[in-house]
Amino acid sequence: MATRALTKGLLGLRHVRGPTVKVSNSGRQFATASSIISPEPQTCSVRDKMLDLPLEKQDLFRVSELFTVKDLFDARVHLGHKKGCRHRLMEPYLYDSSLDYDIIDLDKTAEDLRRALDKTAHTAYGGGIILFISRRRQFCHLVENTAKQCGEYAHTRYWQGGLFTNAHIQYGPGVRLPDLVVFLSTLNNVFQQHVAIRDARKMNIPTVGVVDSNCNPSLITYPVPGNDDTPVAMELYCRLFKTVINRAKNKRKQMELLHSLSEPSEPSS
Amino acid sequence: MAANCARVVCSLFGKSVNFASSTRPVTLQFCRQICGTPALRRKNLGPTVPETFTAEFIQKQVEEFEIGKRHLANMMGEDPENFTQEDIDRSIAYLFPSGLFEKRARPLMKHPVEIFPKQRAVQWGPDGRPFHFLFYTGKQAYYSLMHDLYGRVLKVEKHQDQLRAKGLFPTEPKQIALGPSRWLTKEEMEALLVEPISRQDYEHFIQLMERLLAMPCCSLEQQFVMSHRQQLEAQSMHQVVPPLQKDDAGVDFSTAEGRRKSSRGSVVVRDCGAGRLTVNGQDHLHYFPVLQDREQLMFPLQFCGLLGRFDLDCSVSGGGRSSQAGALRLAISRALLSFLSQSEGEAMRQAGLLTPDPRVRERKKPGQEGARRKFTWKKR
């Protein structure tokens, strides 16, 4: 449990195997860069091998094949709001504005989206809980269906006060909070930033968020600049996330099967 | 448990400390000061949750109930195999007689399923992953119901669009036969979902249901809609007409009973009579010297115009003269129903002859002289 807290404190799942877990010949270990990546063969279990695999390969889940910039353009992801609604911190992500309508830079979007999908895939591969949040009424049903179909969780309703920060009272003792929160729209019904962004940050939960030109990207761990108002764009995002999560879970099952077949005598952790 | 405590402390302060190492004695000490008994820790942490019972506890209660039932059957000298709930209630009332007015305060022995409130089992598996995809909303059952309902609305809309595209859209929409039913109340919904619902949530649910019903092709979802409606009993209670019997001489007769205040009367109305009236073995003139009481007895016959046709044999007990007369009047009206047609019976009902008079003596209250009369008010 303390290890998990340690994990959340450091960014992302990349540092999932902290040095304090592994028993080594030397006494205490410090969290230096070299000691994190170096493997310890005498204590490697099946689970360690499975979790080291994504760290060794680049783009294990072939996320870059899922979409192209042309797909994003066709789904109208580049359309932002008007100049008056523009958020100051979104200016680096904007390409231009034509007739006062902001246009989001799709090259940056593509790169950020790949990073975000990669992060999602790694979380799903490690058996993490992913929570989809969106407070747009017209896409509530779509988001809930997406979550149902990939076996993850959704929250597209009114956000009660202490769902993350007061979790043990809200849900019951011993509850496990999500390991990743995906915002398909960062604003709530009154065009203010969703409370869950701040709460997830407080609880050290990494967030992925689709930020439109009127949103604040500062508190989100993996912001993806893009349109969150058009149905085509939302369907694209939902499809991408669903595909990536299913791929990661299938890969996980594959690896478990492979390892259980190759070493049947060793008890899997 | 201690580790849990420590984790709570950690999350509160936002630090992640490895408690395996003993490098932070100060924090450990701080921990020990904060963590106290569960009762102390629960202070000021929001509304108390209702007491939850574990599955093992309920299981144990059920076993104890079964064993206790067999013991009770043995005590009462009855067959333990066929000992029903009514037998249990009877035996408990016999062994533990109680004069308490509140029925719920009396000793009872019922199956634990009826006593302990229905509650939800643990919501997540051994790896911590919740079972329901809407778990993190906090109201999973309600929101799942709303999600399901909206899905059905979309399905009906899609069906309508398909019909319209084919040109088969029905001009007279086939409505769902709701019958005498009403929507389930908020309390019934809470019992159904095993989850508390707020008033606004309930109103939203009803609005969405009404929207579904307003669609022309809503008959697709008939079963779903009816599962959230409660059937009402028929408003008008059908009058039970006493059966017309024939005695040895071939004369028709019928029997009925009536009550008024604390009087109980029963009457046997015989056809082909001469208008004789016997009450408790005596003639009616003897038993009811007052004209008003005799008028009450005659009124049903006079109303139907059958004054000289029947012979009445009445028996009455309890109450005073007026209430005995009222009880017999009701009994005579009910007995006459078997000799009359439907419309005449309906006329009797509208005249109020078949309605039992609900008025009973009001109790005397303390601080007053009678039911309504107060003590004399004295200025000083």
How would you write the pLDDT of chain B (380 residues) with one tens digit per residue? 444 444 444 344 434 444 444 444 444 444 455 656 666 665 555 555 556 778 888 999 999 999 999 999 999 999 999 999 999 999 999 999 999 999 999 999 999 988 887 777 788 988 999 999 999 999 999 999 999 999 999 999 999 999 999 998 888 877 888 888 899 999 999 999 989 999 999 999 999 999 999 998 888 899 999 999 988 876 666 778 888 989 888 899 999 999 999 999 999 999 988 889 999 999 999 999 999 999 999 999 999 998 889 999 999 999 999 999 999 999 999 999 999 998 999 999 999 999 999 999 999 999 999 999 999 999 98
Query: Looking at residue A8, what is its pLDDT?
Result: 47
In this predicted model, which residue has the larger pLDDT, B67 or A173?
A: B67
**Closest CA of chain A from B187, distance in Å:** 22
Query: Looking at residue A200, what is its pLDDT?
Result: 96
How long, in residues, is chain A? Answer: 269
Q: Give the Cα-Cα-Cα angle A211, A216, A222 (nearest 5 degrees).
A: 55
Chain A residues within 8 A of B45 when measuring between CB atoms: 169
**Closest CB to B136 among A3, A6, A155:** A155
Domain with CATH 3.30.230.10 in chain B: 245-351
Q: Is A76 exposed, middle or buried (0-12, 13-18, 19+ CB in 10 A)?
A: middle
Query: Looking at residue A130, what is its pLDDT?
Result: 97
Judge: domain B245-351, CATH 3.90.870.10.
no
Considering only alpha carbons, which residue of chain B is nearest residue A201? B14
In this predicted model, which residue has the larger pLDDT, B299 or A59?
A: B299
Query: Looking at residue A28, what is its pLDDT?
Result: 56
Considering only alpha carbons, which residue of chain A is nearest residue B148? A141
Question: How many angstroms separate the CA atoms of A227 and A85, rounded?
Answer: 13
Question: How many angstroms separate the CA atoms of A25 and A4, rounded?
Answer: 23
Distinct helix (H) and strand (E) counts, chain B: 14, 8
Q: Which amino acid is at B342?
A: Q
Question: How many angstroms separate the CA atoms of B149 and B221, rounded?
Answer: 10
Contact between chains at B16 and A2 (C-beta distance less than 8 A): yes
Question: How many angstroms separate the CA atoms of B378 and B380, rounded?
Answer: 5
Task: Report yes or no: B160 and B174 within 8 Å, Cβ to Cβ.
Answer: no
Mean pLDDT (whole number) for A126-144: 96
Record the pTM: 0.66
Contact between chains at B138 and A170 (C-beta distance less than 8 A): yes
Percent of chain A topping pLDDT 90: 70
Query: Looking at residue A80, what is its pLDDT?
Result: 95
Helix H, strand E, coil C: the string for chain A is CHHHHHHHHCCCHHHCCCCCCCCCCCCCCCCCHHHHHCCCHHHCCHHHHHHHHHHHCCCCCCHHHCCCHHHHHHCCCCEEEEHHHCCHHHHHHEEEEECCEEEECHHHHHHHHHHHHHHHHHHHHCCCCEEEECCCHHHHHHHHHHHHHCCCEEECCCCCCCCCCCHHHHCCCCCCCCCEEEECCCECCCCCECHHHHHHHHCCCCEEEEECCCCCCCCCCEEEECCCCCHHHHHHHHHHHHHHHHHHHHHHHHHHHHHHHHCCCCCCC
Question: How many angstroms separate the CA atoms of B113 and B117, rounded?
Answer: 7
Other C-beta atoms closer than 10 Å to the C-beta of B6 total: 20
Chain A residues within 8 A of B128 when measuring between CB atoms: 129, 175-176
Q: Which amino acid is at A75?
A: A
Question: How many angstroms separate the CA atoms of B208 and B153, rounded?
Answer: 9
**Closest CB to B133 among A141, A154, A178:** A154
Considering only alpha carbons, which residue of chain A is nearest residue B17? A2
Question: How many angstroms separate the CA atoms of A21 and A43, rounded?
Answer: 11
Q: In sequence order, what are the residues at sequence separation of 6 or more whose Cβ sits closer than 8 angstroms to the Cβ of residue B348?
A: B300, B303, B304, B333, B336, B337, B340, B354
Q: Give the Cα-Cα-Cα angle B99, B105, B110 (nearest 5 degrees).
A: 110
Which pLDDT tens digit goes with each residue over A215-249?
A: 999 999 999 999 999 999 999 999 999 999 999 99
Task: Report yes or no: B76 and B92 within 8 Å, Cβ to Cβ.
Answer: no
Any idea which of A8-22, A127-141, B73-87 has the lowest mean pLDDT? A8-22
Contact between chains at A153 and B133 (C-beta distance less than 8 A): yes
Query: Looking at residue B33, what is its pLDDT?
Result: 54
Q: In sequence order, what are the residues at sequence separation of 6 or more whose Cβ sits closer than 8 angstroms to the Cβ of residue B143?
A: A157, B134, B137
Question: How many angstroms separate the CA atoms of B95 and B330, rounded?
Answer: 39
**Closest CB to A163 among B133, B136, B150:** B136
| Mean pLDDT across chain A | 85
- Read off φ and ψ for residue B362, nearest 5 degrees: -80, 140
Q: Is the ipTM of this complex over 0.90?
A: no
How do beta strands A130-133 and A153-155 pair? parallel
Q: Give the Cα-Cα-Cα angle B334, B338, B339 (nearest 5 degrees).
A: 110
Mean pLDDT (whole number) for A47-67: 83
Given the structure tokens 């929160």, which residue do they identify? Answer: A181
Query: From chain A, which residues contact B within 8 Å (Cβ)?
Result: 1-3, 5-6, 8-9, 20, 28, 127, 129, 131, 141, 144, 147-148, 151-155, 157, 160, 163, 166, 168-176, 178, 202-204
Query: Looking at residue A217, what is its pLDDT?
Result: 95
How do beta strands A180-183 and A207-211 pair? parallel
